[in-house]
């Protein structure tokens, strides 16, 4: 296949490579917030902030905050990757009406 690739297809391959890389980076961050922090709960608990043992707060506050930030960060990064490769959707997409909107009986 690779021999017969057009420039457009090569652009697509590069774009998909960047997409895949972003996916892996995002999942590494996810694993750190979800599992990595919790694996060190005992040493972290030695520190107390506003009454919270740090290991406890890492699970009850830290992981949640990290996930929210990771989700929005990921969305923004992927939008940039799509835009640079020319695969972004039209900007005004909330009001864009798709083809299957009106199958009125």
Partner 1 sequence: MGVNPQGDSFRRNLGRIFGTYTGGLVAFVILLAVLEQLGLPDSLIGYLFVAATFAVYAGIGIVARTVSLSDYYVAGRRVPAVYNGMATAADWISGASFVGMAGTLYVLGYDGLAFVVGWSGGFILVATLIAPYLRKLGAYTVPDFLGARFGGNIARLVGIIVLLACSFTYVVAQIYSTGLIASRFLGISFEFAVYVGLGGILFCSLFGGMRAVTWTQVAQYIVLIIAYMLPVLILSAQKYGFPIAQLTYGRALQEIAGREQEMVATGLASGEVLKSYIEPFTSLDRTNFFALIACLMIGTASLPHLLMRFFTTSSVRQTRRSVGWSLLFIALLYVTAPAYAAFAKLEVYQNVIGASLDALPEWIYTYGRLGLVDVCGISATTADAVRAACAEIPGHGGVLRLGDFSIDRDVVLIATPEIAGLPYVIAGLVAAGGLAASISTADGLLLAIANTLSHDVYYRMVDRKAPSSRRLVIARFLLLAAAAVAAWAASTRPADILSIVAWAFSLAAAGNFPALVLGIWWKRCTSAGAVAGMVAGFGVTLYYLVMTQYFGMPEWFGVNNISAAVFGLPVGFAVTIAVSLVTRKPSAETEALVDAMRRPSGDPVMGERSS
Least distance to partner 1 from the beta carbon of 54, Å? Answer: 11
Q: Comparing C-alpha atoms, which of 30, 28, 33, 20 is closest to residue 77?
A: 20
Q: Are 15 and 85 in contact (CB under 8 A)?
A: yes
- E strand or H helix at 68: helix 63-85
Q: Is 16 in the site for partner 1 (CB under 8 A)?
A: yes
93 part of the interface to partner 1, by CB under 8 A:
yes
35, 43, 47, 84: which one binds partner 1 (CB under 8 A): 35
Give the span between the Cα atoms of 80 and 21, in whole angstroms. 14
Residue 78 DSSP SS3: helix
The binding site for partner 1 (CB under 8 A) comprises 12, 16, 19-20, 22-23, 26-27, 30, 33-35, 38-39, 41-42, 45, 48-53, 55-57, 59-61, 63-65, 67-68, 70-72, 74-75, 78-79, 82, 86-89, 93-105
């Amino acid at each position: 296949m690779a021999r017969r690739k057009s420039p457009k297809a090569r652009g697509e391959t590069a774009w998909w490579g960047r997409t895949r890389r972003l996916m892996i980076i995002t999942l590494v961050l996810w694993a750190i917030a979800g599992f990595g922090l919790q694996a060190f709960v005992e040493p972290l608990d030695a520190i107390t902030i506003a009454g919270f043992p740090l290991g406890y707060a890492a699970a009850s506050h830290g992981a949640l905050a990290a996930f929210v930030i990771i989700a929005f960060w990921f969305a923004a990064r992927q939008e940039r990757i799509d835009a640079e490769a020319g695969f972004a959707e039209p900007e005004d997409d909330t009001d864009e009406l798709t083809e299957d909107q009106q199958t009125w009986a």
